[in-house]
Structure 1
Amino acid sequence: MFKTILLFLFVWVTACQSAWAEEREYRFVTLEFPPLEFTGEDGKPTGVAVEVVHRIMAALGLQVSIDVHPWSRSLDRVRKGDADAIFTAYKTPERELFLDYSNVVLIPQVIALYATKESPINFNGDLLALQDKQFGVVSTISYGAVFDQMRNQLRVQRVEDIEQNFKKLMLGRIDVLISNIYVADWKLKKTGFNKHISRLPLEVERLPSFIAFSKARGLTALRDRFDKELLRLKESGEFDAIVAKYDLTVPPDIQ
């Protein structure tokens, strides 16, 4: 009889824990990185990645709130376990110490250089060939291993947002800026700077970006469920439909 009661209590507690896990609201964080993730005119997070994440969590029957912060703050929150997941994140050895990365690429990213349309700069794929040029970057943003490993050998000027770099480029204070193409192309079109600034033909690097879950929260099981639904979303064409809403072209996944 006693064993039966213990078994009943165990099953009941397990069921309650499972129900709580399904009902609680997960807290995800991201950054201002339009058109992938940004604060909309209504004050709510929106963008390609935000819509994909909401679609997946809804399909899993889970509630989620998404906060948009400066990137350093978002990283700090998942490091401490104050947030459950972060996106869209490049994979680095340092971050892997506190993040449990998805195994499925969320958004494949492309890094490229931009200059004024009158600029004589010709990028041949070798960043060191531009050592005498002034590069504009956004503070705290990683531009992938290729650029980050050469950063100390280049002349780099830091600003807080890409629009400042557009202005510096127009004023001749920098010669070239580096950016994720989704962000730069979106911002150039929105601000009208696309009349004067263009992307250089060769890419610097293509690299995958992911959603990553806080190891402090122990969410490996959720990560695996998220992966499965993300893969289904891509195979079904739903992912491409979301991307098309933002007039983007996303390259094939890069592992």
Structure 2
Amino acid sequence: MKQLALALLLCSSFSLNGAESIKTLRAAIGDYPPYTQCESDELNLPANLATEIVGVALKSQGVELEISCYPWARVERLVETGVIDISFPYVHSDERAKRLAFIPMPVQTDTVLFYRKNMEAVPVTFESLSRYRLGGTLGYHYGALFDALDAANKVGWVPTDKQNFKKLLRGRIDFFPLSFHVGYYVLSQFPAYQRATITNLPTPIMVKKFNVIVAKDSPKLPAIRKLIEKGFETIRSSGELSRIQDNYLAPGS
């Protein structure tokens, strides 16, 4: 009973103080450059777009962001059980929404089709793309259009995005889809003369918003939501958000 009373007292105290009582938020992330990065590499390129945006937004509200790195398979569970306060960047799903609350980020993932510059740009339609050799990376879902192309046996699958770029450079496939920012980050690992031969179609095949996730039953949820939403609005109004995003533009964009 004493433990229950103490827990109720703490919750009551937190509810009264709200967002003002939060000085630090703990976040768990995995490797997903250039949105989040835990493992260092030799590229020396900006690789923490989502981390920068969340960190700067929270700092504008007087809150420090503490980052811990884990395999992605563990991250959701750590947030759901309250061991960690938040994680990002996550795409909304009905299954996740049963356990987690979503706070929209001013970041979206545009999945575009990469191709060689010596090829003709084509409309992003089934009729147009079905005439070409397409690549896909195992474990990804690219939306209804690519599902239809895959069902028509137009897609060859490989384990990694880097393998697909190699196939594209060698002329073994004509198009393959990948998040705009992730694609140019992976492409940056290739020599300059090879990078110069690749571009992307301007029309995305899929657009999804990223979110910060919080445990749905966390007593901190209202305060965390208030802090993050206010922080995003602050850096949007000040121009800081645009400055961060400009640092991650693809070469020549």
The corresponding residue for 2:151 is: 153
CA distance, structure 2, for counterparts of residue 215 and residue 101 of structure 1: 9
Q: Give the TM-score normalised by the residue count of structure 2.
A: 0.73
The corresponding residue for 2:212 is: 211
User: Deviation string for 1:11-53 (max 9, x for gaps)?
Assistant: 9x8279969x63565133243221x22244599x952211111
User: Deviation string for 1:140-186 (max 9, x for gaps)?
Assistant: 4444x445654752544444432221112233443321011112123
- Whether the 8 Å contact between 1:32 and 1:38 is mirrored in structure 2 is yes
Alignment of 1:1-255 (within 5 A): 14=13, 22=22, 25-34=25-34, 36-39=35-38, 40=40, 47-69=48-70, 71-102=72-103, 104-119=104-119, 122-127=121-126, 129-131=128-130, 133-143=132-142, 145-147=143-145, 150=148, 152-153=150-151, 155-192=154-191, 193-221=194-222, 222-247=224-249
Q: Give the TM-score normalised by the residue count of structure 1.
A: 0.73
- Whether the 8 Å contact between 1:57 and 1:63 is mirrored in structure 2 is yes
Question: How many residues are treated as equivalent by the alignment?
Answer: 237
- What is the root-mean-square deviation in Å for CA atoms of aligned residues? 3.8
Q: Could you tell me which amino acid in structure 1 is paired with residue 91 of structure 2?
A: Y
Q: Could you tell me which amino acid in structure 2 is paired with residue 26 of structure 1?
A: R
Moved over 6 A (4+): none
C-alpha displacement of 1:208: 2.0
In structure 2, the CA distance between the partners of 1:46 and 1:111, relative to structure 1 (3 Å rule), is closer
In structure 2, the CA distance between the partners of 1:17 and 1:235, relative to structure 1 (3 Å rule), is closer
In structure 1, runs of 5+ residues without a counterpart are 1-9, 250-255
- Whether the 8 Å contact between 2:112 and 2:200 is mirrored in structure 1 is yes
In structure 2, runs of 5+ residues without a counterpart are 1-8
User: Deviation string for 1:199-252 (max 9, x for gaps)?
Assistant: 124332333222222325444210222111111211211111122233459xxx
- Whether the 8 Å contact between 1:30 and 1:86 is mirrored in structure 2 is no
